[in-house]
Amino acid sequence: SEDLLVNRKPRMALEAALQAANNNPEHAGIYLMQMISFYCRISVAPPDLLIRNTADQLQKNTSFASSFTTPIGIGLENILTYKKIGGCQNADFSALAPALVHIDQGLIHHYGNQREHLWFLRLTLAEWLLETGNPKSALHILRDAWATGDKSAMPMTGLALARTLTAEKSSAEALQV
């Protein structure tokens, strides 16, 4: 479906991603996120129903293996990039917030003390939670990622944590970070 989008056939690309979601229910959320990304790339607001269905599918996910975490991280980062440059036409992504919290909780449960290598995905989840107006949930993720990770390998997490703490009027903790 990516090739179809590159060849300026967005309707066919969207249909291919939807068919992939229907044919692969265990990864449906990933394909639906790909559809959102396609809308954003062609500067069209993704339908609210698509965003809600994506959130529903992501919340149903119970597998947190790399076959899920890698495409989720890439998909969320792609959509966020297009959103920042105005490609999503002011779409309301707030329905995704509970699914993002669910994903993070699943990562913590699945990886336990071995979750430090997931810092970039968790940073992306936190950025999305900030975008959807959920700073407390974002802070929870950022604090945990910062506390459990190798700080020298992931300074972006510390920077995001300090900025969020400052915005939330916790400047003493921000200075410590």
d(CA 74, CA 47): 21
Plot region of 121 (φ>0 → left; ψ -120 to 50 → alpha; else → beta): alpha
d(CA 109, CA 101): 12
pLDDT the model gives residue 66: 86
Query: What is the full per-residue pLDDT of the chain (177 aa) written as tens digits?
Result: 555 554 456 778 888 888 988 999 988 999 999 999 989 988 889 999 999 999 999 999 888 888 889 999 999 999 999 998 988 888 999 999 999 999 999 999 999 988 888 999 999 999 999 999 999 999 999 999 999 988 888 899 999 999 999 999 999 999 999
What's 121's DSSP letter?
H
Lookup result for tokens 């290598």: 117
Q: Are 100 and 129 in contact (CB under 8 A)?
A: yes
pLDDT the model gives residue 149: 85
d(CA 164, CA 177): 11
d(CA 174, CA 177): 5
pLDDT the model gives residue 57: 95
Tokens of 87: 């490609």
d(CA 172, CA 177): 9
pLDDT the model gives residue 117: 87
pLDDT the model gives residue 3: 53
pLDDT the model gives residue 6: 46
Calculate the CA 46 to chain-centre distance: 16
